[in-house]
């Protein structure tokens, strides 16, 4: 990567700040998202809106598709499955495309009781018991809190609503949250099995030029120091910013998806248009800082505050403690699905994860590798229904 001057870096940060402010203002002026009405009911499915409150006060919007289009009109005894999206996305991730292509609909039509979660800060999950998104404190979280508070709250809610253990599907950041929670003994008693699409536990060998540039230039840290707590970029602002960064860093930005995620092989243009119409969603700048730390260091630890005092205050140590994926119970049924063209969840980082799981029971760990798939092919690829979701459903049926 070419050296970038302090003036150029300042301009990049300024563009990020302006873009964030404009996008946040637009979001404040727009009506609350209603995924059920806009994406589910229009396809002929019953859909319910639920609210889940975490122990740290965040109010999450959750959509439920209790049955398929031609199913018996009851959700009784249908196995529940919780779908958790990745970074800068929301539950719409699982609903883009036709009912024969989108995983949320496919699972419902195969007899599952489908629950779709939305991470704090996204359009459906901007509530809080005592804060609002305009409060800087609202955005003081990273994926540490998602694993500690958010995913357990979602599991407990679905478990108590259905009276059954859950299947789980995570994508990208949604796998990281699950790995960390499971390593701490959470979720296990409520889990049937987990399918991890583009599994993330390590990011040190990430090859995405855009994301590695953000990490190595400490862009998110600079934003945080300027008081930007909500990390959000919408529509054309994303393309303009990436073009600017890539030009200065000598990165080929002719394809936004490719420069971020790798060359996705199997996404329709209509799906890309729908995707960009809904995404990206907000996250916390602190969350991006935490991920940037993972990229630079190749480690899996709690958030590093960057100074001894804060680390000792939070952890009792001068450095943040590490998470231990080896602590995941060895009899938890896991399916890991990853791709050879993915520049975010790269094969070499997955190999480190697999080394951590080397003592997992052989009949409880299923691996699926697609040489031609990149990061988004797993969730919006036109042929993922056959190549990824059919094996995923067969895996669930065994458990």
- The catalytic site residues sit at 172, 342, 375
* Cα(329)–Cα(360) distance, integer angstroms: 8
Q: Positive or negative, the Cα torsion across 20, 59, 85, 385?
A: negative
Q: Positive or negative, the Cα torsion across 54, 277, 116, 174?
A: negative
Q: 284: helix, coil or strand?
A: strand
Q: Positive or negative, the Cα torsion across 356, 82, 232, 305?
A: negative
Q: 20: helix, coil or strand?
A: helix
DSSP H or E segment with residue 380 = helix 377-380
Comparing C-alpha atoms, which of 241, 173, 252 is closest to residue 208? 252
Comparing C-alpha atoms, which of 172, 174, 175 is closest to residue 345? 172
Half-sphere exposure of 311 (CA within 13 A, CB side): 14
What's the distance, CA 231 to chain centroid? 14
Structure tokens at 28: 């404040």
* Cα(265)–Cα(340) distance, integer angstroms: 11
* Cα(120)–Cα(116) distance, integer angstroms: 13
Non-local CB neighbours of 225 within 8 Å, separated by 6+ positions: none
* Cα(157)–Cα(242) distance, integer angstroms: 39
* Cα(323)–Cα(282) distance, integer angstroms: 26
């Amino acid at each position: 990567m070419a050296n970038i001057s302090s003036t150029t870096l300042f301009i990049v940060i300024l563009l990020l700040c302006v873009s964030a402010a404009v996008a946040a203002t637009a979001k404040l002026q727009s009506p609350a998202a209603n995924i059920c009405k806009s994406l589910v009911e229009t396809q002929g499915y019953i859909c319910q809106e639920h609210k889940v409150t975490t122990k740290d006060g965040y109010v999450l919007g959750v959509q439920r598709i209790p049955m398929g289009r031609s199913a018996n009109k009851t959700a009784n005894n249908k196995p529940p499955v919780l779908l958790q999206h990745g970074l800068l996305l929301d539950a719409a991730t699982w609903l883009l495309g036709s009912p024969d292509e989108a995983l949320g609909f496919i699972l419902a039509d195969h007899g599952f009781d489908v629950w779709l979660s939305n991470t704090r800060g996204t359009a459906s999950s901007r509530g809080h018991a005592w804060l609002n998104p305009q409060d800087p404190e609202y955005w003081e979280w990273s994926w540490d809190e998602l694993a500690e508070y958010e995913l357990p709250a979602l599991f407990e809610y679905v478990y108590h609503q259905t009276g059954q253990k859950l299947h789980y599907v995570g994508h990208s950041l949604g796998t990281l949250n699950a790995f960390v929670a499971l390593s701490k003994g959470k979720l296990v008693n409520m889990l049937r099995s987990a399918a991890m699409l583009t599994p993330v536990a390590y990011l040190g060998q990430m090859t995405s030029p855009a994301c590695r540039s953000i990490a190595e230039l400490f862009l998110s840290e600079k934003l945080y120091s300027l008081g930007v707590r909500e990390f959000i970029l919408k529509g054309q602002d994303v393309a303009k910013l990436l073009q600017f960064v890539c030009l200065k860093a000598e990165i080929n930005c002719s394809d936004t998806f490719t420069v971020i995620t790798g060359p996705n092989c199997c996404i329709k243009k209509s799906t890309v248009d729908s995707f960009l119409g809904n995404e990206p969603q907000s996250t916390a700048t602190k969350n991006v800082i935490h991920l940037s730390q993972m990229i630079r260091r190749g480690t899996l630890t709690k958030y590093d505050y960057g100074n001894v005092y804060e680390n000792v205050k939070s952890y009792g140590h001068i450095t943040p403690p590490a998470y231990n994926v080896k602590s995941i119970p060895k009899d938890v049924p896991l399916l890991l699905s990853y791709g050879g063209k993915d520049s975010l969840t790269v094969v070499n980082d997955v190999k480190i994860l697999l080394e951590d799981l080397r003592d997992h029971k052989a009949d409880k760990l299923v691996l699926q590798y697609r040489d031609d798939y990149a990061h988004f092919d797993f969730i919006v690829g036109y042929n993922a229904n056959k190549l990824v979701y059919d094996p995923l459903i067969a895996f669930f049926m065994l458990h």
